[in-house]
Amino acid sequence: MKPTYDIFISYRRTGGAQYARIIELQLKQRGYRVFLDYDEIRHGPFGERIKTAIKQAKIFMLVLSPGCLDRCAKEEDWVRQEILLAIELNKHFIPINPDGLFEEVPAGIPDAIRELVNTHQRSDINFGQALSVTIDLMEKNRIKPYVTKHSRIRMLLVALLAVLLAGAGAFAWHQRQLAAKRDALLTTRALDGSWRLNWSPGITLPQLQAVHELLAAMVKVEGGAFMMGAAPHANGGYAAEVDSFFETPQLPQSVGTFWIGKYEVTNSEWARIMQTDLDETKADLPVTHVSLHDCRLFATRLCDLTGLPFRLPTEAEWEYAARGKQAADNTLFAGRDRVDEVGWYAANSGGRVHPRNDSSGGFYCNSLDLFDMSGNVAEWCDTPFRLYKDLLAQNPHPEVIDPEGWVVRGGHFDAQPYELTVTHRDVVNAAEKLPNVGLRLVIGVSNSKTVQTH
C-alpha cells in the first residue's frame, strides 16, 4: 500500500534545501507526515514519484527562497511542474517566506503560478530563535484546519499495535514450532518396537520429552530364576558385609522379562511429568523426598500419558537386575566386588548426591548397563518388607518390623559399604519422604508384549 502524506514540500535545491529540511523536521516532530524529495527519492522514475506524492498530500508547501521561481519560465523545470500539478489538483497552498528573503515573482513564468504566489498570504518563518513560534503559528492557522494532526500518542499507539501484532505473530510461530515438535514425538511404538503407545490427548511437550528420555534409558532384562538373598560360604558363614537377619536365608525366585531404567528418576523428569515447579540447580539430580505413594502416583501418571505399564520394581526384580545379566555377575556390589569402583557412598560422596549425567563418568555399571544400583540414592521397591525366614517357611504369623514398612534397596550417598551390596535391604515406612530415597522405574512385559489401551 502506498503511503499517504499530509504535506508535500516543494523547494529549489540551490538556496532552499536547508530551509526545507528544517521545516520538514519541525513538522514531523509535531506528528505530520511530510514528503521531501531530499529523503524520499531513492529509486525509480523521479517524475512519477513526485506526482504520486503531490496527489496524496493534502497541503502543498512551497519554500520561496531567493531566486527559487526564476527557472519556472522553462517548461521542463521540475518546481514549475510541481506547482502546476498542485494547482490542477486544487491542493491547499502554503507559500513559505524564509527569514523574509523572498521579494517578488519574476517575469516570464506562467500566470497561474504568479497568481497563486501573489494572492496567497505568505507564512514568514523565522529560522532563528523564533523558529518554533513561527512554525506553531503557521500550524495553528494554516495546517490544522485542513489536516488532522497525527499526534505522538496516536503514533505510539500505532507503534504499540505493531509491536503487539509482531508479538502475536512470533507467539503463533512459536506455538506452531512447539506443535510440530510435539507431533514429531507422538510416535506409535516404543522400546524394541513391540510396544504400542497410546498417548493421552492432553499430553504436553515437556511431558512428551520427559517420557522419551525415560524410554531411551530403559534396559531390557530377560526373565529367569535365581536365589534372592546372600549366599553362605561353604562353612555356612557369611561375608562381613552381609546382614544375616535381613538378607538370609536365600529364597528361590522367578521373574518374567521386564524393562528397567538405567538411571534413577531425576528431579527434571519428575517435575515435567507431574507438572510441578523445578529447582533448575537440581534438575539432573535424582528426585528424593518422595513417599511410596508419590512414586506410585508418578508411575500411574506415566501409564495414563502413554498407555505403557510403568511401575516400581518388585524386590525380586530389583535384585535380579542389580546382579546383572540373568543374575550372572555374581559380584558383591552391582557390577564389581570393589565398592569404590561402582558406589557413591559415605567415603566418596561428600555427603551429597551426584547428577545422573555423572553416572557414566568414573563409575562402572553392571553387565546390564545399570548405574547407581550401589549408592547415590536408595530406591523404593513395590514389595512389603518381610523377613526371608518367614517367607521361606510361609509363616502365617510373620514377624512384622513395621506394619507399613516397604522394601528399599541399593544404599545411598551417606551409607556404609555393607548397605550397598546387591542383597542388602532396608525397611522404610511407606509414608516417609527421605532425602536419600528415590526411585527407578520398571515396565513389565505381558505374555503378548502388547500394552492394553487405558
Q: Looking at residues 18-29, what average pLDDT do you find?
A: 93
| Helix, coil or strand: residue 401 | coil
Mind listing the pLDDT tens digit for each residue in 347-377?
A: 999 999 999 765 555 677 999 999 999 999 9
Q: Looking at residues 203-215, what average pLDDT do you find?
A: 94
List the alpha helices (DSSP H) in 307-377. 315-323, 339-342
* Predicted local distance difference test score (pLDDT) of residue 405: 96
Banded model confidence at residue 12, pLDDT cuts 50, 70, 90:
very high
Q: Which of 100-104, 113-117, 168-172, 286-290: highest mean pLDDT?
A: 286-290
Quote the CA–CA distance of 407 and 416 in Å, as a whole number.
Answer: 18
* Predicted local distance difference test score (pLDDT) of residue 38: 63
Give the pairing of strands 59-63 and 7-10. Answer: parallel
Are 103 and 117 in contact, with CB atoms under 8 Å apart? no
User: Which triple of cell numbers denotes residue 344?
Assistant: 557413591
Q: Looking at residues 247-266, what average pLDDT do you find?
A: 96
* Predicted local distance difference test score (pLDDT) of residue 42: 43
49: pLDDT strictly greater than 90: no
Are 428 and 249 in contact, with CB atoms under 8 Å apart? no
Quote the CA–CA distance of 354 and 75 in Å, as a whole number.
Answer: 88
Closest by CA to 387, choosing from 252, 221, 249, is: 249
* Predicted local distance difference test score (pLDDT) of residue 439: 98
Mind listing the pLDDT tens digit for each residue in 299-322?
A: 999 999 999 999 999 999 999 999
* Predicted local distance difference test score (pLDDT) of residue 193: 86
Per the DSSP assignment, residues forming a β-bridge with 342 are none
* Predicted local distance difference test score (pLDDT) of residue 146: 87
Mean model confidence pLDDT for the chain: 89
- Say which DSSP state 200 is in: -
Quote the CA–CA distance of 430 and 15 in Å, as a whole number.
Answer: 93
Phi, psi of 392 (to 5 degrees): -65, -40
Banded model confidence at residue 87, pLDDT cuts 50, 70, 90:
very high
Q: Indicate the range of 96-100, 148-152, 254-258, 372-376 predicted with least confidence.
A: 148-152
* Predicted local distance difference test score (pLDDT) of residue 170: 74
| Helix, coil or strand: residue 142 | helix
For residue 266, what are the CA distances in angstroms to 172, 175, 290, 296, 311?
32, 27, 12, 15, 16
Torsion of CA 405, 408, 413, 416, to 10 degrees: 80
User: Which triple of cell numbers denotes residue 293?
Assistant: 505413594
Quote the CA–CA distance of 449 and 447 in Å, as a whole number.
Answer: 6
* Predicted local distance difference test score (pLDDT) of residue 362: 60
DSSP 6-50: SEEEE--HHHHHHHHHHHHHHHHHTT--EE-HHHH--SS-HHHHH
Burial class of 11 by CB neighbour count within 10 A (0 to 12, 13 to 18, 19+): buried
* Predicted local distance difference test score (pLDDT) of residue 9: 95
Q: Looking at residues 198-226, what average pLDDT do you find?
A: 94
pTM of this prediction?
0.63
66: pLDDT strictly greater than 80: yes
